[in-house]
Amino acid sequence: MRRGIAVSPGVAIGTAYVIHEIFVNPDTQRLEDTQITAELANYETARDKAAADLRALEKKVDAQVGHEEAFIFAVHRAIIREPAFTNKIRNWIVEDKMTAAASLHRLLGEYTAMFTKTRDEYLQERLNDIRDVIIRLGSHLNQNPNSGEKPIDGPLIVIADELLPSQAVALGQFDVNGIVTQAGSQTSHAAIIARSRGIPAVSGVKNILRKVKTGDTIVVDGRAGVVEINPNSESLAAFRKLEREFFDLRDQLAANRDDPALTQDGVELKLEANINGVDDAQAAHAMGASGIGLYRTEYLYLTHADLPDEDEQYEVYRNIVANSPNHNITIRTLDIGGDKTVAYLGHDHKEANPFMGWRSIRLSFEHPEFFNTQIRAIIRAASEFPEGTARLMFPMVTTVEEIRKLRSMIRKAYKTLSARKVKICELRIGMMLEVPAAAITIDSMLDLVDFVSIGSNDLVQYLMAADRDNPKVSHLCQPLSPAVLRVLKHVIETCNRQRVPVTVCGEMAGKPKAFLLLLGMGLRRFSMSPSFVPSIKQLASQVSIEQAESIVASVMKFKTTAQVKRYMTRQLEQLAPNLTMLDSN
């Protein structure tokens, strides 16, 4: 049994499918003599396609972002054509009769072993360049992990160091029952995707890749943060019972999709969904969400082969709005940085403190043409639907000056589109509240925005001065800590007093214990992973506003997180004992 971080509740049993960092189980079978020529040609074709990709990307980034940012792709093209790089691949195909994919995997291993021995940051960055090139080459080979070929039979438990967004998208076509990652946290890519699809998941399981091989039987308990490898018959039977209970409860709750979201005393709530793409939007509709409270547009960039231009973005955004419940959607501009990076925005070099550095709106300001392209695409897409259904939101707003600058850029985008005779409509403009400075001064910002959305994931780590992805301090990132609860109460009460709509779109919104507290603080709009909407709707129907307010009054007297957690566990067990299975520890 291995322990990690509980990131997506529920119990799942399945067959392990191990995803290594770059390739999914590259073919280890030796080539026949008659296959060698074809495999060499396969590699050369992949190399030519990758070089063409990089050439096109270099030109596009140079035009939209800048020459310096585009230069990285010239470096990558040089690596692809480097004789030492290419000759090794050819020799392994010919002499060792390895597939091109297996040869690339071997080459990465060699470079990794060589460069990780040095502390020289320049050489370590070159390893990142080589890794990016190998990923690009692998994507053009027949054996690439996104080819759509089913890996193995049966319900799968995906085991990985960390899931890249592109890998997570590819897994959507497989029967995935659970996800286990060696790295990551409650807000990693894998965690977000698992919750959006209702898949039990555990992150931060140390050395899991050394302990598991493809084909092993794996149990994932996403509530307790436990992973069991090849359990005995008695343990397996107990977990199968829990798995059935989890699926039965989920199916029961899904039946409330058409019911209104009402508290026990009839107060109407808005339960919306957080999404990464069109599949999530459709899931939100199926789960009974009233709209989309957060569309993370960065996943378009993270999973796109190159830099999407305005027309490409417009088509994607229009499709997302079309598939959103009631066309009701809040579209957040690019939130790149921290744990989400793309090379063409200058993130080929590591920052000492990326979560508190050059990211989100700060990065967008530095590349105004790139940023304006996205704003124009969003306005165009939103204008295809009834006015007021789509909203525009900006991440990591810290100061009043930033909001004024954003409004100026939006006015410029409207003027540009008007000059092009493009159909446009006015969008409501909102800010994502994640920075403590903005929380403290929220009253001075409300005259400049139409709505506020609280991003609790980042707000918690900034308040606690603790990187949520650093296992040494991640225990401090507690949404139920008294400090966090006081700040949230202040923000919600201030917004309500000034009659500015406020939503929580961080992971707190979909957690039963946190939901009860937010409800008692006066919050009436929540946005969460689509799979959590039915359980929160059920919980809302079992509690009155008076009860929630009484719970908050008691909790605000507590001095420690442990006290809050114990009290909220008891309250949830009394109000909705059937939902405790869906609340991660």
Q: What is the pLDDT of residue 163?
A: 74
Handedness of CA 395, 401, 405, 411 (dihedral sign): positive
**127/160 same-domain check:** no
User: 44: domain CATH number?
Assistant: 1.10.274.10
**299/188 same-domain check:** no
368-377 pLDDT, tens digit each = 888 899 999 9
Give the whole-angstrom CA distance, residue 558 versus residue 119.
46
Active-site position among 140, 285, 367, 505: 505
**38/92 same-domain check:** yes
273-296 pLDDT, tens digit each = 999 889 889 989 989 999 999 999
State the residue for tokens 């199916």.
251
Active-site position among 189, 285, 347, 367: 189
Give the whole-angstrom CA distance, residue 333 versus residue 355.
17
Give the whole-angstrom CA distance, residue 5 versus residue 526.
24
Residue that terminates a domain, selected from 122, 139, 156: 139
298-351 pLDDT, tens digit each = 888 877 767 888 999 999 999 999 999 989 999 999 887 655 666 556 544 556
State the residue for tokens 């990464």.
276
Residue 26 lies in a domain: no
Residue that terminates a domain, selected from 139, 170, 190: 139
The whole domain housing 56 covers 33-139
Residue that terminates a domain, selected from 112, 139, 166: 139
Residue 521 lies in a domain: yes
Is it the case that residue 474 has pLDDT exceeding 60? yes
How many distinct structural domains can be found in the chain?
Answer: 3
**242/294 same-domain check:** no
User: Can 495 be counted among the known catalytic residues?
Assistant: no
Give the whole-angstrom CA distance, residue 581 versus residue 6.
12
Strand 525-528 to 270-275 pairing: parallel
Give the whole-angstrom CA distance, residue 154 versus residue 24.
17
User: Can 140 be counted among the known catalytic residues?
Assistant: no
**358/424 same-domain check:** yes
Higher pLDDT: 111 or 320? It is: 320
Q: Which H, E and C letters describe 175-189, residue by residue?
A: CEEEEEECCCCCCCH
Q: What is the pLDDT of residue 390?
A: 94
**316/427 same-domain check:** yes
**264/217 same-domain check:** no
pTM of the predicted model as reported, rounded to 2 decimal places: 0.77
Please tell me the total number of residues recorded for the chain in this structure. 585
